[in-house]
């Protein structure tokens, strides 16, 4: 029987392993985005970044699947599990494309507003729209991970509803992402190697809690299918062997027809 210290150590070490493994897989699957962020000036390369940013969607969806499996049964099958979940999450690239399109529109609007005489009036709604989009699209990715096969429109509706109705956790997630962006501006290489998985875990946890609590208000979401969302090997089939019916009491004592005394 394990002691409390041993159980706590195994839990902490397993969590660290999952975080580091997800960081590694995120770096491998989104390396074009990381290279552009670390080596270029975003004021000049934002269009190229928008073109490759949809790669983030399948990677973050796969990270959500890894976190979900670790949360449910403590599975630390990170590398191969992430790879399988990433391959199944190809459809979430549509969410990434929608997010990239909205991001381009917001950047162009911000550049136009900054040079217009009425920029002081239009800038606050633009900032609110940017912050809301920064929550809705990540939450839509979490909804896509929780409900495999979810289409673009229902995923965005679920993300918007959770972001608005569960605003305390949304503020926490938003603060964490803003801190991540600020730290990335100071130490881009170090932050890109260490912090993506912890930051995404906080965002995922808040979004998943919101999806669970608001499930009655989301009738368009299909029921979660554990068989599709699991990242481990398929469970073994259980073979049921029927037992022969019990013999009546005294059946072994009754003589057969041809028996002799």
Angle, helices 79-88 vs 4-29, to 10°: value is: 50
pLDDT at 58: 95
pLDDT of residue 179: 94
Whole-number pLDDT of residue 237: 38
pLDDT one-digit tens code per residue, 89-138: 988 999 999 999 998 998 888 888 877 777 777 888 888 899 999 999 99
- In this model, does residue 234 exceed pLDDT 70? no
Count CA atoms within 13 Å of residue 121 on its CB side.
3
CA distances from 260 to 252, 253, 256 (A): 15, 14, 9
| Mean pLDDT computed over every residue of the chain | 81
Tell me the two tokens of residue 207.
């979004």
The reported pLDDT for the residue numbered 5 is: 62
pLDDT, position 217: 79
Burial code (b: 16+ CB inside 10 Å, e: under 16) for 218-252 equals beebeeeeeeebbbeeeeeeeeeeeeeeeeeeeee
pTM score, whole prediction? 0.80
How confident is the model at residue 244, as a pLDDT?
A: 45
Q: Quick: pLDDT tens for 42-98.
A: 878 888 999 999 999 999 999 999 999 888 877 778 888 999 999 999 889 999 999
pLDDT at 3: 59
Mean pLDDT of 21-32: 93
Task: Specify the residue for token string 């808040």.
Answer: 206
- Report the number of secondary-structure helices (H) and strands (E) in the chain: 12, 0
170, 163 Cβ separation under 8 angstroms: yes
Assess whether pLDDT exceeds 70 at residue 14: yes
CA distance 16 to 216: 34
Question: Using CA atoms, how far apart are residues 235 and 204, in angstroms rounded to an integer?
Answer: 26
């Amino acid at each position: 029987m394990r002691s409390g210290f041993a159980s706590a150590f195994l839990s902490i070490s397993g969590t660290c392993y999952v975080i580091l493994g997800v960081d590694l897989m995120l770096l491998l699957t989104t390396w074009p985005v990381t290279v552009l962020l670390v080596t270029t000036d975003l004021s000049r390369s934002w269009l190229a970044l928008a073109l490759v940013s949809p790669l983030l969607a399948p990677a973050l969806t796969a990270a959500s699947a890894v976190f979900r499996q670790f949360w449910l049964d403590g599975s630390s099958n990170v590398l191969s599990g992430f790879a399988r979940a990433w391959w199944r999450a190809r459809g979430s690239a549509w969410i990434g494309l929608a997010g990239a399109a909205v991001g381009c529109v917001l950047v162009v609007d911000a550049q136009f507003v900054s040079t217009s005489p009425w920029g002081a009036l239009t800038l606050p709604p633009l900032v609110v729209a940017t912050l809301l989009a920064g929550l809705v699209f990540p939450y839509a990715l979490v909804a896509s991970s929780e409900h495999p096969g979810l289409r673009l429109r229902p995923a965005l509706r679920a993300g918007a509803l959770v972001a608005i109705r569960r605003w305390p956790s949304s503020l926490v997630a938003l603060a964490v992402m803003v801190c991540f962006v600020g730290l990335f501006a100071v130490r881009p290489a170090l932050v890109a190697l260490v912090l993506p998985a912890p930051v995404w875990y906080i965002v995922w946890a808040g979004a998943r809690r919101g999806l669970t609590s608001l499930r009655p208000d989301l009738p368009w979401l299909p029921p979660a299918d554990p068989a599709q969302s699991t990242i481990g090997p398929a469970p073994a089939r259980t073979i049921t062997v029927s037992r022969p019916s019990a013999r009546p009491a005294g059946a072994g004592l009754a003589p057969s027809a041809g028996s002799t005394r």
